[in-house]
Amino acid sequence: MLSPGSGNTVIKSKLISRRMFLLTAAKAVVMVGLVGRLISLQINQANKYKSLSDKNRFREWKLAPERGVIRDFFDQEIASNEPLYQVHLVPENTKNLNQLFVRLKGILNITDERISYLKRTIKKQKPWEPVVVSDNLNWSEFSRINLFLHELNGVEPIVSVARMYPDNSSAHILGYVSQISAKDLKTKKYLKDLSVPGMTIGKTGLERKLDKEIIGKVGFQRYEVNAFGKRIKEIQINEGQAGKSFKTTLDYEVQKYTNELLKDKAAAVCVMDVYNGDIVSLVSAPTFKPNAFVHGLDKKYWNSLIKDPKKPLTNKVISGLYPPGSTIKTLVALSALENKIIKPQDTFRCKGKIELHGEKFHCWEKKGHGIVNLRKGIQRSCDVYFYEIARKLGVDRLSETAKNFGLGKTVLSNFYEERAGVVPNTKWKKKFIGQNWYIGETLHTGIGQGYFQSTPIQLCLMTAQIANGGFKIKPRIIFDNNNNNNNNNLKDYIKYKNENSKDSLAVDQLIKNFKIKKLFEDQKNIEIVKDAMFSSSNEPGGTSYRHRMNNPKFTFAGKTGSSQIKRFTEAQREAEVKQIDLNYKDRDHALFVAFAPYKNPKYAISVVVEHGGSGGSAAAPIAKKIIKKVIERDDLRLEINNSTKELS
């Protein structure tokens, strides 16, 4: 029999055992939890904490890729790169931004305005996204930053590259680069993964057109740092990939020469190969400094650009719209011949003006030109002759010919600055103005006035296609070695025709075989117009006769023109007021188009001088000098073309 004391002992023993079990179970749960957590930390989340550890130990910075180089036809660099020293700041890596900026201000002489801008930028973006504190340091400043780097947590000195242009002669066609904006990131998808602090992209011209290919691929630098954020050693570097480089059809020497000729003028020049459309020179004046845009534009300089009445930021060659004036008379004559409205020997009497429905239409020659046929009409630029031709031809047929020869549409591909201009006709006026056409407007159109609007590059293309015998060409500014042979089809056709004059194959079939397109019904009509242009530049009485060149190598055939800005009053006509007597803004624009050499055409040129007054006095002298320069360099160009052809 058990005593009462032994029963209590059993109960106590069971209670202790239960408690020990619960305690052991709790220990087991805690141990399992600890082991699980350790497994989670050391295995499952190892990468996460390794990354956090590395973040304290390592620093990584993206590197802006090096933009591809742009070269001229002779492989001279016209847009290249140079070393650039920058200072970046990662806001999350600094404890006190205000103190940091005070320190940077003492080291780099940063302005309060710049600091305020940086603070606003930091508030708008993520704390780990770097900002560019200073974009264009000299070596002394860059060395000073590196010396005090241990005091500047979050600051990173960066060696990068920046765009550099050797001069301003090609500023409009090359365009310029500038830093990426929020708008750029929204509108250009290819920038999504390319955004790097301080990186620039093309904003205008070729820089914009080629940006996607020329921009390259982003690289990075990785460094081990100490507790103060100072670099200990470089761990890894990936320089990225430089962008694709491009060769253009431009001649840098001609660009510089032309730019100098246009100094102090508001003007535009375009020179083009008449067979393959290669643009040899494209210069707009006044020019601007593209290098000034690379590191952020000075406000004073920007204001001087936008307030300049000569509009230096406008590429006048592809964006400037001007009435073609008398340069269009070549196409009016051609259209009338092609449509069998007139014959070359048909004449009209010019008495200085004609009257139609009560409106007077004046010739520039107050006393008149007398009896005028087509050749003399172009030679003397007789307005009355072309009033009569236009009246018989009608605006719709003239419009069709003008469009066939390149007017009224853009010439280059993917240049957002380029404008199409206006080739008016009856449907156009009804659609855009809501009014019917009247015959008086046809007369104005026949001398290149009224609603007519064209760009200098269109006038150059028009002239080139007359010069080459009336064949369509596609102008280009990027030299494509792979497609170069196709661009020489017209040259090959003309060479074959000259060497095989007795070939019985029909002209249309021959043209088809060479994959070229004719713009004429009867090629004799093209030759008639070319002969008339020759007389305008090389025979007494021609409007550009005084600027002729007797050497057959340089002899050109051209046509002058004037774009009327302000209509002359009867009183001014009676007083025989000259253009030079008018205020600058009231003077006509001066135009000149030509091709050379006359007997073996190679190049076409168009020149526009804003408010130059007369094409013969202001534009033709410029064209004469450029033609000589281009033809003097023709053998060099031909040598490269031939070597390229052999390689392909």
Tell me the per-residue pLDDT of 224-276, one tens digit each, with 9 for 90 and over: 766 655 556 667 777 778 899 999 999 999 999 999 999 999 999 999 999 99
Please answer whether residues 469 and 275 qualify as being in contact, where contact means their C-beta atoms are separated by less than 8 angstroms: no
* Mean predicted confidence (pLDDT) in 48-61: 59
Taking the C-alpha atoms of residue 82 and residue 421, their distance in angstroms, rounded to an integer, is 39
Taking the C-alpha atoms of residue 307 and residue 619, their distance in angstroms, rounded to an integer, is 26
Tell me the per-residue pLDDT of 155-185, one tens digit each, with 9 for 90 and over: 888 887 889 999 999 999 999 999 888 888 8
Q: Is residue 508 scored above 60 in pLDDT?
A: yes
Q: How far is CA 317 from the centre of its chain?
A: 11
Please answer whether residues 418 and 412 qualify as being in contact, where contact means their C-beta atoms are separated by less than 8 angstroms: yes
Average pLDDT for the chain = 88
Please answer whether residues 142 and 157 qualify as being in contact, where contact means their C-beta atoms are separated by less than 8 angstroms: yes
Q: Does residue 269 sit in helix, strand or coil?
A: strand
Q: Is residue 577 scored above 50 in pLDDT?
A: yes
Tokens standing for residue 496: 């074959």
Listed range (10-24, 221-235, 618-632) with the worst mean pLDDT: 221-235
Q: Decide the pairing of beta strands 70-71 and 246-247.
A: parallel
Task: Give kind and range of the element (H or E) at residue 356.
Answer: strand 353-356
Tokens standing for residue 187: 């509108």
Q: Across 20-24, 199-203, 545-549, which has the greatest mean pLDDT?
A: 545-549
Taking the C-alpha atoms of residue 250 and residue 272, their distance in angstroms, rounded to an integer, is 10
Count CB-CB contacts under 10 A for residue 499: 8
Tell me the per-residue pLDDT of 311-338, one tens digit each, with 9 for 90 and over: 999 999 999 999 999 999 999 999 999 9
Taking the C-alpha atoms of residue 619 and residue 280, their distance in angstroms, rounded to an integer, is 18
Count CB-CB contacts under 10 A for residue 81: 17
Rounded to 10 degrees, what is the CA torsion of 397, 398, 402, 404?
20
Tokens standing for residue 606: 């168009």
Tell me the per-residue pLDDT of 435-468, one tens digit each, with 9 for 90 and over: 999 999 999 999 999 999 999 999 999 999 999 9
The residue written with tokens 């964006």 in the block is 319
Taking the C-alpha atoms of residue 324 and residue 563, their distance in angstroms, rounded to an integer, is 6
Tokens standing for residue 336: 């009338």
Q: Phi/psi of residue 51, each to 5°?
A: -65, -40
> For a pLDDT cut of 70, what percent of the chain falls above it?
91
* Mean predicted confidence (pLDDT) in 484-505: 76
Q: Is the peptide bond before 309 cis (omega within 30 degrees of 0)?
A: no
Residue 323 contacts by C-beta under 8 Å, 6 or more apart in sequence?
448, 449, 450, 452, 453, 454, 563, 564, 589
Listed range (46-60, 230-244, 508-522) with the worst mean pLDDT: 46-60
Q: Is residue 210 scored above 70 in pLDDT?
A: yes
CB contact burial 261-280 (16+ within 10 A = b; e otherwise): bbeebbbbbbbbbbbbbbbb
Q: How far is CA 364 from CA 568, 581, 610, in A?
A: 11, 16, 19
Q: Does residue 352 sit in helix, strand or coil?
A: coil
Q: How far is CA 189 from CA 64, 183, 186, 540, in A?
A: 17, 11, 7, 60
Domains of the chain: 62-247 (3.90.1310.10), 252-647 (3.40.710.10)
Q: What is the pTM of this model?
A: 0.85
Q: How far is CA 218 from CA 126, 133, 161, 183, 523, in A?
A: 20, 20, 12, 20, 55
Per-residue model confidence (pLDDT) at position 234: 65
Taking the C-alpha atoms of residue 236 and residue 23, their distance in angstroms, rounded to an integer, is 53
Q: Which residues pair with 201 in a beta bridge?
A: 178
